Structure 1
Amino acid sequence: MTTPVTARDRAKAERADALLQEASRLFAERGYSGVSLEDIGSAVGVSGPAVYRHFAGKQALLGAVLIKVSEELVSGGRNVFDGAADESERMRALVTFHVDFALSNADVIRVQDRDLAHLADADQAEVRRLQRTYIDLWIDALHPLQSGATDELRLRVQACFGLINSTPHSTRSASRSKKTTARTLITMAEAALLAGL
Structure 2
Amino acid sequence: MTTSPSAEQPPRTRRGQAKAARRAELLEAAARLMAERGFTGVTLEDIGRAVGISGPAMYRHFSSKTDLLDQMLVDISQRLRDGGAEVVDGATEPEQTLRELIRFHIDVLVTKPDLIAVQDRDLTSLTPAANHQVRSLQRRYVEQWVDVLLAVDDAGRAGLSRAEARVRVHATFGLLNSSPRLPAFAPDDLRALLTTMAWAALVAPRG
TM-score bracket, normalised by the shorter chain, equals over 0.9
Q: Structure 1 residue 55: deviation in Å? A: 1.1
Cα RMSD for the two superposed structures: 1.3
The runs of 4+ residues in structure 1 deviating greater than 2 Å are 4-7
Cross-structure match for 1:91 = 98
Matched, 1:22 2:34: no
Cross-structure match for 1:126 = 133
Secondary structure of 2:89's partner? helix
- Aligned mates of 1:8, 1:86 — CA distance in 2: 44
- Aligned mates of 2:143, 2:37 — CA distance in 1: 32
Cross-structure match for 2:174 = 162
Equivalent in 65, 76, 81 of residue 69 of structure 1? 76
- Aligned mates of 1:87, 1:117 — CA distance in 2: 35
- Aligned mates of 1:101, 1:37 — CA distance in 2: 25
CA displacement, residues 42-98 of structure 1 (integer Å, 9 cap, x when unaligned)? 112111121111111100000111000000001111111111211110011101111
Matched, 1:10 2:11: no
Q: How many residues matched?
A: 191
- Aligned mates of 1:106, 1:131 — CA distance in 2: 17
Gap runs ≥5 in structure 1: none
- Aligned mates of 2:193, 2:91 — CA distance in 1: 22
Q: Is the 8 A contact 1:106 1:169 kept in 2?
A: no
Cross-structure match for 2:192 = 183
Q: Structure 1 residue 179: deviation in Å? A: 1.2
Amino acid at match of 2:41: G
Scaled by the length of structure 2, the TM-score of the pair is 0.88
Cross-structure match for 1:194 = 203
Scaled by the length of structure 1, the TM-score of the pair is 0.93
- Aligned mates of 1:162, 1:98 — CA distance in 2: 12
Q: Structure 1 residue 10: deviation in Å? A: 1.6
- Aligned mates of 1:65, 1:188 — CA distance in 2: 28
Question: Identity over aligned residues, as a percent?
Answer: 47
- Aligned mates of 2:49, 2:149 — CA distance in 1: 45
